[in-house]
Amino acid sequence: MKIIHKINEIREIIQKEKQNGKKIGLVPTMGCLHAGHASLIKKSVENADITVVSVFVNPIQFGPNEDYDKYPRTLEADAKICEEIGADYVFAPSAAEMYPGLEKFSDLTMVCPPYALTDMLCGKSRVGHFDGVATVVTKLFNIICPDIACFGMKDIQQLHIIKKMVKDLNFSADIISCPLVREESGLALSSRNKYLSEADKKAALTISKALFAIKDGYQKGIKDTKLLFDTAMTVLDPMIELDYLEFVDKETFETVSEINSPTIAAIAAKVGGVRLIDNIIIGE
Ligand code: AMP
């Protein structure tokens, strides 16, 4: 397995692989890989001949007061994980390689998903975040030209937006949705879990517990999302600062007041200053 830092170099490699008839799989990540990322890489290895894992902490998807500078960067350990799973290349460009000569991001041509999809859930408090995501994914797709690209259902709004972008802009990659991976405790795996103290982690566990309580309530016959919301609130640790807990239709992402079709209960909350997201699908 090789680590490639330069766009031209990975382009040449991919071109040769494609000439040899190889199917290319891409797994976009920001690194600090865990078992959630590993499941995506495994999926790509199983479904493509050549797997490229990109490891890039994308500055343009972070807000000014977010954790871009302190985001964990662990390339060596990441490469080891990729190699063990059977990936072929890690593409780890620098910020200057991806955005050369860019003093301010307002100078950059951006891919902006429709407002209706970004002015909700995470996009409401992370203004511009999904423009940054859509732009970097577009760049990665243009550099790697993948036949398939694997994304996790942990970032369910991101997945929805990427699928829409691929359809609207006629990208040829097939988007593979991969299930959310949790710790045994129920906590959704996230690179940001590294920031949590023991006390934070204990409180953070109540985020998934709240989602499981929603599922339980639904299975016991509660369909009214207001009641399900209240159930979840009784479970959340008081240390948790809720950003949102919303119920949206799995296909349209429109708000749901009564669950009659597959629905996503999505939550974002801060614990000890660390922003975590999680979701569960009910009514399937
Ligand atoms: P990130 O490095 O956080 O940008 O995530 C890269 C990819 O891994 C995204 O498609 C995420 O949805 C996916 N991912 C992150 N955490 C998990 C998880 N716990 N389960 C499944 N996929 C995940």
Q: Residue 163 Cα, ligand 1 centroid: separation in angstroms? A: 15
Q: Which residues contact 257 (CB under 8 A, 6 or more apart)?
A: 224, 225, 226, 247
pLDDT at res. 102: 76
* C-beta atoms surrounding 280 within 10 Å: 20
Per-residue pLDDT of the chain in tens (284 residues, 90 and over written 9): 999 999 999 999 999 999 999 999 999 999 999 999 999 999 999 999 999 999 999 999 999 999 999 999 999 999 999 999 999 999 999 999 999 987 777 789 999 999 999 999 999 999 999 999 999 999 999 999 999 999 999 999 999 999 999 999 999 999 999 999 999 999 999 999 999 999 999 999 999 999 999 999 999 999 999 999 999 999 999 999 999 999 999 999 999 999 999 999 999 999 999 999 999 999 99
Residue in 51, 66, 68, 155 to alter for ligand 1 test, most ligand atoms within 8 A of Cβ: 155
All structural domains of the chain: 2-178 (3.40.50.620), 191-277 (3.30.1300.10)
pLDDT at res. 212: 98
Q: Residue 14 Cα, ligand 1 centroid: separation in angstroms? A: 24
pLDDT at res. 1: 98
Ligand 1 neighbourhood includes 56 CB (under 6 angstroms):
no
pLDDT at res. 107: 86
Ligand 1 neighbourhood includes 155 CB (under 6 angstroms):
yes
Q: Residue 154 Cα, ligand 1 centroid: separation in angstroms? A: 6
Q: Ligand 1 atom 10: the closest Cα is on which residue?
A: 151
Please give the model's pTM, rounded to 2 decimal places: 0.98
Q: Which residues contact 188 (CB under 8 A, 6 or more apart)?
A: 36, 154, 180, 181, 182, 207, 208, 276, 277, 278
Are 279 and 152 a contacting pair, CB within 8 Å? Answer: no
**Residue listed under structure tokens 């890989």:** 33
How does DSSP classify residue 224?
B
Ligand 1 neighbourhood includes 143 CB (under 6 angstroms):
no
Which residues are catalytically annotated?
37
